[in-house]
Chains A and B, each alone.
Chain A
Amino acid sequence: MDIVRVIVKKPFEPGLLLLILILLATSPLYAPEYAVVLLTSIIMYIIITVSWTMFSGPTGYISLAPAAFFGIGVYTSALFGFVLPLPVVIGMGGLAGFCLALIVGTLTLRLRGIYFVMFTLGLVELLLHFILWWEVNITGTTGRVVPTVANTTVYYIMLIIFAILMLTTFFIRNSKFGLALQSIGEFEEAAAHRGINVNALKTIIFAISALFMGAAGAIMATRWTYIDPKIAFNPLLSFMPVLMAIFGGIRYLYGPIIGAAFFAYVEEFLITRFPYHYMLIFGIIMVVAILYMPDGLVGLIQKLWKRASGETYEGA
């Protein structure tokens, strides 16, 4: 069934993609400031969701650690923001996420998937408690100030991270690494017997996906000006990408983007006024999506499109 997916023709033309990118890149010139700020948070969610899907999509290993990598990036920004130039800080944030993921991956990815899920589930809580303890007992102060950066700069850096992420995703999906990852997800032992170094590949892709989350965290921190462990390591950021990717369609390149954009937009309006209702609806959508739309929104649309256009629907 997945062979069908690999050879199925791309639903979007590259030209359309370029147009969207140009529109996004020029938007600070004509759009109101509020729209730029909103777009920044939408792109942040897209970055986290797409990089989450880069690893968890093909392999089926559900990582619940995005908030940990994001938070490490946030903290890097707080620690070095006043000393080093912004691009270096962002790079360091990404690197911090990369290194943390490398350690976590080496520890857990050679074992069965369930250990990985369990370990990543608690990682955010662990870092939060440890840094809280550190700040209370060693440094004596909780929370830090982050240097502020102009909204447009934040937006452009977020956009650049997004562009690099999309290029990386394209490259991985269309290379032998992408195929190898896919085969790990289908039948790990068979993949190993084919000569794929499964542990090394899983760990490195996991670390690459964490790199983007760390970088996004490092730039996002500059918008908050003040951070403490509870803001930096918010467990919600671990759960959001999972839902967004599944709602959009985890097996499609554009699924996570659409899912993330949708929820980030809805969140903007609902979370300040009805935070708990919003989260409740979030959970209900999650259960309904898993029960009735196993291929997500994009999968559902493609299925309906095929049925409407009278094509014979083969497998998938």
Chain B
Amino acid sequence: MIVTILDVVIAGLLMGGIYALIAVGLSLQYGVARVLNIAHGEFIMIGAFITWSLFTIVGINPLVSLAICGPIVFTIGFILYRTLFTRLRTSSASPAAFEGSSMLACFGLLFIIQNLAILIWGADIKGYSYLAFPVKIGGAVFAANRLITLGFAVAIGLVFYLFLARTRLGKAIRAAAQDPAAAGLMGVNIKHVLALCFGFGALMAGFGGTLISMSYNIQPTMGLEYTVIAFIVIVLGGLGSIPGSLLGGLLLGLVGSIVTYIQPGLSLVAYYVIFMLLLLAKPTGILGK
């Protein structure tokens, strides 16, 4: 019994770590850059497929790929914001209008990225085996790659949190989140900071993708499901709250693991039930104001 509970809890945390990571990325893009990025999952997919290619063709260790994928995805995100979204932002009449039009632009991006990926890599499900040997924790058995995944997810999340809380650039980002206009008047280069935020959001998605590819199968259409989960996590944690996203991700992973233990195949349905209850009872989320 105790072993079963341990099994379920640790499996939940393993999944939750990845949820938390991708939700932090989305939260940053929506909370600061004001882009409701429906193509978030596609950045995860890019990260996963670059890692897969590097591992199967060149033989590069997936953990080293973190350092390769991250900058690539970050650059894509940064350039997208500097060109596409900055243009939309300056031509939109109000912040609300920008939210609408940028979301629709993300739709287009979703189609473009997903189908480019299918043209490059094909539509099949892919996977590779890396560090798949079993590790025992207090009686429960897990694959080593999933433990490493959790470790890296938590480490990346914490480092990023410290970056936001302690550095000058982090402070500028938090200021831009509160009030972009006022932050601009205080000498924050708003265009640059917002683009950085969108890039960092994509970076988190890319990292998430690399980690996901280590222990799960991947395919070009995998993005949408992760986008939906990331949305539910940021609502659960409170819109725009980074610690909320971290906590919400772990919580949702735990719920998913418990439901999968009782009735496999219903985890996404369970996330939705949580989402519905949340909307009825506390739409601001657990850590929202």
Contacts and interface: CB of A to CB of B under 8 A. Distances in A.
A64 B114 CA distance: 18
B280 interface: yes
B100 A280 contact: no
B229 to A, nearest CB: 8
A283 B268 contact: no
Interface string A257-291: 00000000000000000001101101111110011
B119 interface: yes
B109 A276 contact: no
A125 B101 contact: no
B116 A286 contact: no
Contacts of B225: 125
B64 to A, nearest CB: 31
Interface string B229-266: 00110010001000000000000000000000001011
Given A115-B235, A133-B265, A291-B87, A242 B107 contact: yes
Q: Which of B38, B84, B107 has most chain A Cβ within 10 Å?
A: B107
Interface string B79-113: 00000100110000000100111011101111111
Contacts of A246: 104
B270 to A, nearest CB: 10
B227 interface: yes
A66 interface: no
A114 B115 contact: no
B116 A280 contact: yes
B104 A290 contact: yes
A130 B275 CA distance: 15
B228 interface: yes
B224 interface: yes
B182 to A, nearest CB: 22
A286 B107 contact: yes
Q: Which of B111, B119, B224, B239 has the most CB of A within 10 A?
A: B111
A143 interface: no
B283 A286 contact: no
B163 interface: no
B119 A60 contact: no
Nearest to B278: A115
A284 B112 contact: yes
A287 B266 contact: no
B228 A121 contact: yes
A226 B170 CA distance: 55
B88 A290 contact: yes
- Chain A: interface size category: 35 or more
A125 B36 contact: no
A132 B87 CA distance: 42
A243 B112 CA distance: 13
A286 B36 contact: no
A108 B104 contact: no
A277 B104 contact: no
B183 to A, nearest CB: 22
B279 interface: yes
B110 A283 contact: yes
Contact of B36 (A117, A122, A282): A117
B268 to A, nearest CB: 5
A282 B118 CA distance: 15
B272 A290 contact: no
B231 A121 contact: yes
Contact of A129 (B103, B105, B224, B265): B265
B101, B123, B228 — which one has the most chain A CB atoms within 10 A of its CB? B228
Interface of A: 60, 62, 107-108, 111, 114-115, 117-119, 121-122, 125-126, 129-130, 132-133, 136-137, 235, 239, 242-243, 246, 276-277, 279-280, 282-287, 290-291, 294
26 contacts: A62-B103, A107-B280, A117-B36, A121-B38, A121-B227, A122-B275, A125-B228, A125-B268, A126-B272, A130-B269, A235-B224, A243-B108, A246-B104, A276-B115, A276-B123, A277-B119, A279-B111, A279-B115, A280-B119, A283-B109, A284-B112, A287-B84, A287-B108, A287-B109, A291-B84, A291-B87
Given A129-B266, A130-B266, A239-B111, 8 more contacts: A115-B279, A117-B103, A121-B228, A122-B228, A276-B115, A276-B123, A291-B84, A294-B101
